[in-house]
A and B are shown apart, each in its own frame.
Chain A
Amino acid sequence: MAEIEIGRHLYRFPGGLKLRHHKQIACRDPLTPAPLPERLWLPLVQHQGPAGECRVQPGDRVVGGQPLTRARSDREVPIHAPTSGVVEDLRDGPVSWPPGGTAPCLVLAPDGEDRFEALDTPDDWAAESPDALIERLRAGGLAGLGGAAFPTAAKLRGGFPPIRALILNGSECEPYISCDEMLMRSRPEAIVEGARILTRATGAEEVVIAIEDQMGEVRKRLNEAIRTVDPDAPIRVVQVTTVYPEGGEKQLIQVLTGLEVPHDGLPQDLGLVCLNVATAAAARDILFDGRPVIERIVTVSGPGIVHPRNLVVRLGTPIADLVAAAGGPTGDLDRLVLGGPMSGLPLASDRIPITKGSNCILALRPEDTARTQPVMPCINCGECIRVCPASLLPQMLYKHLVADDFDAAQALNLFDCIECGCCAHVCPSHIPLVDQYRHGKGVLRERGVEDARAARAKARFEAREERLAEREAERRRKREARERRLKDTGGAKSEVQAAIERARARKDAGDGEDDG
Chain B
Amino acid sequence: MNLSLAGAPHLPPISTVGGVMRQVLYALVPGIVAHVVYFGVGILFQIALAVGFALILEAAMLRLRQRPLKPFLTDCSAVVTAVLFALCMPPLAPWWIALTGMVFAIVVAKHLYGGLGSNLFNPTMVGFAAVIIAFPIELSQWLAPRSLTPGLPGIGETAVAIFTGQLPASVNWDAISQATPLDALKTGVAENRLVTEIRDAPIFGDFGGLGWEWIANFYALGGMYLIWRRVISWHVPVAVIGTTILVSTPMWLLGPDIHPSPLQHVFSGALVLAAFFIATDPVSGCSTMRGRLVFGAGVAILTLAIRRYGGYPDGVAFAVLLMNMGAPMIDRLTRPRTYGHGGGGS
For residue A263, CB closer than 8 A to chain B, the reply is yes
- Report the nearest B residue to A414, measured CB to CB: B338
Q: Please, which residues of chain B bring their CB within 8 A of the CB of A335?
A: 3-4, 6, 10
How many Å lie between the Cα of A347 and that of B339 in the bound state? 31
For residue B343, CB closer than 8 A to chain A, the reply is yes
Residues 1 to 41 of chain B near chain A (Cβ within 8 Å): 1, 3-20
Q: Contact between B340 and A376 (Cβ–Cβ < 8 Å)?
A: no
For residue A233, CB closer than 8 A to chain B, the reply is no
Q: Contact between A260 and B18 (Cβ–Cβ < 8 Å)?
A: no
Rounded to whole Å, the gap between the CB of A360 and the closest CB of chain B is: 12
Q: Contact between A425 and B13 (Cβ–Cβ < 8 Å)?
A: yes
- Report the nearest A residue to B344, measured CB to CB: A260
How many Å lie between the Cα of A369 and that of B10 in the bound state? 6
Contact string against B for A residues 408-442, beta-carbon threshold 8 Å, 1 for contact and 0 otherwise:
00001100100101001111111010110010000
Q: Please, which residues of chain A bring their CB within 8 A of the CB of B19?
A: 428
Secondary structure at the A interface, as helix, strand, loop or mixed, is: loop
Q: Contact between B9 and A350 (Cβ–Cβ < 8 Å)?
A: no
Q: Contact between A382 and B11 (Cβ–Cβ < 8 Å)?
A: no
Q: Contact between B17 and A348 (Cβ–Cβ < 8 Å)?
A: no
Contact string against B for A residues 364-385, beta-carbon threshold 8 Å, 1 for contact and 0 otherwise:
1000111111101111111101
Residues 106 to 139 of chain B near chain A (Cβ within 8 Å): 115-118
A-B interface pairs (CB < 8 A), number: 187
Contact string against A for B residues 306-346, beta-carbon threshold 8 Å, 1 for contact and 0 otherwise:
00000000000000000000000001000111111101111
Contact string against A for B residues 244-284, beta-carbon threshold 8 Å, 1 for contact and 0 otherwise:
00000000000000000000000000000000000000110
Residues 310 to 344 of chain A near chain B (Cβ within 8 Å): 333-337, 339, 341-344
Q: Contact between B282 and A371 (Cβ–Cβ < 8 Å)?
A: no
For residue B150, CB closer than 8 A to chain A, the reply is no
Q: Contact between A381 and B20 (Cβ–Cβ < 8 Å)?
A: yes
Q: Contact between B116 and A435 (Cβ–Cβ < 8 Å)?
A: no
Size of interface on A: residues with Cβ below 8 Å to B: 74
State whether A263 and B341 are in contact (beta carbons under 8 Å apart), knowing that A373-B71, A382-B288 are contacts in the complex: yes
- Report the nearest B residue to A257, measured CB to CB: B345
Binds B, one of A133-141, A204-212, A234-242, A388-396: A388-396
Q: Contact between B343 and A438 (Cβ–Cβ < 8 Å)?
A: no
State whether A377 and B5 are in contact (beta carbons under 8 Å apart), knowing that A425-B13, A428-B17 are contacts in the complex: no
For residue B180, CB closer than 8 A to chain A, the reply is no
How many Å lie between the Cα of A347 and that of B10 in the bound state? 12
Q: Contact between A260 and B340 (Cβ–Cβ < 8 Å)?
A: yes
Q: Please, which residues of chain B bring their CB within 8 A of the CB of A377?
A: 115-118
Q: Contact between B11 and A425 (Cβ–Cβ < 8 Å)?
A: yes
Q: Contact between A347 and B3 (Cβ–Cβ < 8 Å)?
A: yes
Q: Point out the residue from A376, A383, A421 that lies within 8 Å of B8, measured CB to CB.
A: A421
Q: Please, which residues of chain B bring their CB within 8 A of the CB of A262?
A: 340, 346
Most chain A CB neighbours (cut-off 10 Å) among B71, B233, B344: B344
Q: Contact between A368 and B11 (Cβ–Cβ < 8 Å)?
A: yes
For residue B287, CB closer than 8 A to chain A, the reply is yes
State whether A382 and B233 are in contact (beta carbons under 8 Å apart), knowing that A341-B8, A416-B338 are contacts in the complex: yes
Q: Please, which residues of chain B bring their CB within 8 A of the CB of A416?
A: 338-341
- Report the nearest A residue to B346, measured CB to CB: A259
Residues 261 to 290 of chain A near chain B (Cβ within 8 Å): 261-265, 270
Q: Contact between B9 and A425 (Cβ–Cβ < 8 Å)?
A: yes
- Report the nearest A residue to B332, measured CB to CB: A396
How many Å lie between the Cα of A228 and that of B19 in the bound state? 54
Q: Please, which residues of chain A bring their CB within 8 A of the CB of B230?
A: 383
For residue A100, CB closer than 8 A to chain B, the reply is yes
Q: Contact between B16 and A434 (Cβ–Cβ < 8 Å)?
A: no
Rounded to whole Å, the gap between the CB of B32 and the closest CB of chain A is: 23
Rounded to whole Å, the gap between the CB of B181 and the closest CB of chain A is: 34
How many Å lie between the Cα of A262 and that of B14 in the bound state? 32
Rounded to whole Å, the gap between the CB of A379 and the closest CB of chain B is: 5
How many Å lie between the Cα of A270 and that of B345 in the bound state? 11
Q: Contact between B115 and A369 (Cβ–Cβ < 8 Å)?
A: no
How many Å lie between the Cα of A393 and that of B289 in the bound state? 11
Q: Point out the residue from A337, A419, A428 that lies within 8 Å of B16, measured CB to CB.
A: A428
Q: Contact between A390 and B339 (Cβ–Cβ < 8 Å)?
A: yes
For residue A346, CB closer than 8 A to chain B, the reply is yes
How many Å lie between the Cα of A375 and that of B78 in the bound state? 18
For residue A39, CB closer than 8 A to chain B, the reply is no
For residue A1, CB closer than 8 A to chain B, the reply is yes
How many Å lie between the Cα of A372 and that of B19 in the bound state? 11
Q: Please, which residues of chain B bring their CB within 8 A of the CB of A349?
A: 1, 3
Q: Please, which residues of chain B bring their CB within 8 A of the CB of A336?
A: 3
For residue B183, CB closer than 8 A to chain A, the reply is no
- Report the nearest B residue to A260, measured CB to CB: B344
Q: Contact between B337 and A391 (Cβ–Cβ < 8 Å)?
A: yes
Q: Please, which residues of chain A bring their CB within 8 A of the CB of B75?
A: 373, 376
Rounded to whole Å, the gap between the CB of A476 and the closest CB of chain B is: 52
Q: Please, which residues of chain B bring their CB within 8 A of the CB of A510?
A: none
Q: Point out the residue from A343, A390, A430 that lies within 8 Å of B338, measured CB to CB.
A: A390
For residue A183, CB closer than 8 A to chain B, the reply is no
State whether A337 and B340 are in contact (beta carbons under 8 Å apart), knowing that A428-B19, A430-B16 are contacts in the complex: no
State whether A373 and B346 are in contact (beta carbons under 8 Å apart), knowing that A346-B10, A380-B117 are contacts in the complex: no
Q: Contact between B233 and A341 (Cβ–Cβ < 8 Å)?
A: no
Rounded to whole Å, the gap between the CB of A386 and the closest CB of chain B is: 7
- Report the nearest B residue to A376, measured CB to CB: B17
Rounded to whole Å, the gap between the CB of A141 and the closest CB of chain B is: 28
Q: Contact between A376 and B71 (Cβ–Cβ < 8 Å)?
A: yes
Residues 125 to 165 of chain B near chain A (Cβ within 8 Å): none
- Report the nearest A residue to B284, measured CB to CB: A380
Q: Contact between A413 and B6 (Cβ–Cβ < 8 Å)?
A: no
- Report the nearest B residue to A370, measured CB to CB: B12
Given contacts A99-B5, A391-B339, A428-B20, 7 further A-B contacts (CB under 8 A): A265-B340, A270-B346, A343-B9, A379-B283, A380-B287, A390-B340, A426-B14
Where the two chains meet, the residues of A that have a C-beta atom closer than 8 Å to any C-beta of B are 1, 13-14, 99-100, 250, 254, 258-265, 270, 333-337, 339, 341-350, 362, 364, 368-374, 376-383, 385-386, 389-393, 395-396, 412-413, 416, 419, 421, 424-430, 432, 434-435, 438
Q: Top 4 nearest A-B pairs by Cβ distance?
A: A260-B344, A377-B117, A263-B340, A421-B9
A-B contact list, 20 entries, CB within 8 Å: A14-B339, A254-B339, A259-B345, A260-B339, A260-B340, A260-B346, A261-B340, A270-B346, A346-B3, A348-B5, A350-B3, A369-B10, A376-B117, A380-B285, A383-B15, A383-B230, A385-B287, A386-B233, A389-B339, A393-B331
